[in-house]
Copies of this chain bind each other. A is one copy, B any other.
């Protein structure tokens, strides 16, 4: 299992340790993040990415905020010391949580996980921990960490369940087309769409993967190919533009992708390029599955039109690449770019939604 993110306990100075995904596959570098700004930077720069993984990072972030707050106001924390205590602490934690929540807008898991930890902290104040007799700061920090760990543990269990539900959909020797990275790096466990591949592989079903490279940041080329090579699963890299042609000229039995947010009607936001894949899959009659835990579903949004789409800097598209046979490595300096990080695939193009609870079909959405 990849150590995508771990809580690194140290009584004096706990850290959130992450594998820096911007440096893969060339080097495996771990970062110890011990401040909220550092964690925000890591999420914004995609050092840790993937909807479930940034949810876990957000949850640990609240735990880190609670620990930091507890360190700074220890004297007010003594039993019976009276004063602000936990209410002040909670306000401080909530401020940090708001900063974390705002870093990336599209994936609902980030806000979901942060809010779940905060709710646990708020609940701890009642009935025994009312505002009049706040819970000790150390208790809040322990509670936050316990909740974050629960989220992390549940993520692994959900990955396994998604893997099993999804693998049951695949024939032996299936050719699978996938986009972006949806493996252990994108989650706290096995992954979402790639969990299905790993499970099918473990079951001896001999899946073969075609991985879209996934411009602009090449998560497919750098991360998915790395995870599949590590697992010994046959994988072929293709440029994003070759996906439709692969459906025509190669054996592709299913397209498996993850999701960053799924609206109440089944519309799914995912990495830019997913929508075009779904259109091509529909034309070729290739089943198109979205694999995501229930924390990715956002019943508050009636349709995908309401999902906020993060636009990232034009420089991700305009620079940082070089052509294979060339030393030219940037578009003309005057060039502009449009760089939406996600698109929305309408439910009508999705064959099934695989979560830890099973497989939903189109008819299951209101």
**Nearest CB in chain B: distance from A285 CB, A:** 13
Contact (Cβ within 8 A) A22 B343: no
Contact (Cβ within 8 A) A212 B236: no
Give the residues in chain B near A235, CB-CB below 8 Å.
335-336
Contact (Cβ within 8 A) A222 B326: yes
Q: List 21 A-B contacts (CB under 8 A).
A: A22-B327, A22-B328, A25-B328, A25-B332, A26-B328, A26-B329, A222-B331, A226-B332, A237-B331, A237-B335, A239-B339, A243-B276, A244-B275, A244-B276, A245-B275, A245-B340, A248-B343, A250-B338, A279-B280, A316-B325, A322-B322
Q: Which residue of B lies closest to A337 (CB)?
A: B237
**Nearest CB in chain B: distance from A24 CB, A:** 6
User: Could you tell me the dominant secondary structure of chain A's interface residues?
Assistant: mixed
CA distance A306 to B134 in the complex (A): 77
A6 at the B interface (CB under 8 A): no
Number of interface residues of A (CB under 8 A): 73
* Chain A window 319-353, contacts with chain B (Cβ cutoff 8 Å), 1 for yes, 0 for no: 11111111111111011111110010000000000
* Chain A window 266-287, contacts with chain B (Cβ cutoff 8 Å), 1 for yes, 0 for no: 0000011111100110010000
Give the residues in chain B near A216, CB-CB below 8 Å.
239, 323-324
Give the residues in chain B near A210, CB-CB below 8 Å.
338
* Chain A window 1-30, contacts with chain B (Cβ cutoff 8 Å), 1 for yes, 0 for no: 000000000000000000000111111000
Q: A237-B317, A242-B272 are in contact. Are A331 and B221 (CB under 8 A)?
A: yes
